[in-house]
Amino acid sequence: AGSRWVLTVVPVISQVLLSSCRSCSSGVFPNERIRNIGISAHIDSGKTTLTERILYYTGRIAEIHEVKGKDGVGATMDSMELERQRGITIQSAATYTIWNNHNINIIDTPGHVDFTIEVERALRVLDGAVLVLCAVGGVQCQTMTVNRQMKRYNVPFLTFINKLDRMGSNPGRALQQMSQNVRYDEIPAEFRAEAADRRQELVECVANADEILGEMFLEEKIPTIDDLKVCVCVCVRVCVLSLLRV
């Protein structure tokens, strides 16, 4: 009787222990330290370029390569020859990186409307996503489509505004379009109180470096956006001059 109990209990224990972990490309990680993240956007918003930077700055790859194979190599996520020639993602590509002792699986999805089904399939396995916006183009047709798909599968996401260095970029307009076209504010309602506290901390830090803003802070006056911009410009100028002297 005792042997029968051992034979029935041990497999159950083994199953529980194995199901609490998962084998990944980077090794075996507990389930709570594994994340599946997708990157989606309208075509040419910079999804693959963003993924390439994530892999590089987390130490997953040693060099950054460009889309369209301009450097003769091509982006890590563009494995198909046609993808490197056209500079677009055709098939969803998966990779991983390690960050803060977490295994993060990254799925780079296509942005072209013809490959929407690839995005649809990827969304079903995601814990969260990054919706990339181009600072020049803002919210575009495929942005709206991806947003609807994420809602359908209840995928939480962050918005990342890309290409701020491009001529004609306007991140403020992109945020406005997010509010008007897809009905999202730049800060979710449940985080507004915390965001206000963090903003106040930043204002305090800047006030420590600027006399005028410091006086406003002591008098409990609320600085305007223009006041903050002037203060930041002054602080940056002082930092640059001090570096040049060194």
Residue pLDDT, tens place only, 72-107: 555 655 555 544 455 555 556 788 889 888 899 988
Using an 8 Å Cβ cutoff, are 133 and 139 in contact? Answer: yes
**Count of alpha carbons within 13 angstroms of residue 154, beta-carbon side:** 0
Q: Tell me the pLDDT tens digit for each residue of 146-166.
A: 888 888 889 999 899 999 988
The residue type of 76 is T
On whether the pTM is more than 0.75, the answer is no
CATH of domain 2-186: 3.40.50.300
Intervals of CATH 3.40.50.300 along the chain: 2-186
pLDDT over threshold 50, residue 232: yes
Per-residue pLDDT averaged across 50-68, rounded?
Answer: 82
- Edge-to-edge strands, sheet with 128-134: 93-99, 102-108, 34-41, 128-134, 157-162
**How far is it, in rounded angstroms, from Cα 229 to Cα 41?**
31
Mean pLDDT, the chain, rounded, equals: 77
- Residue linked to tokens 């009787």: 1
**How far is it, in rounded angstroms, from Cα 176 to Cα 139?**
9
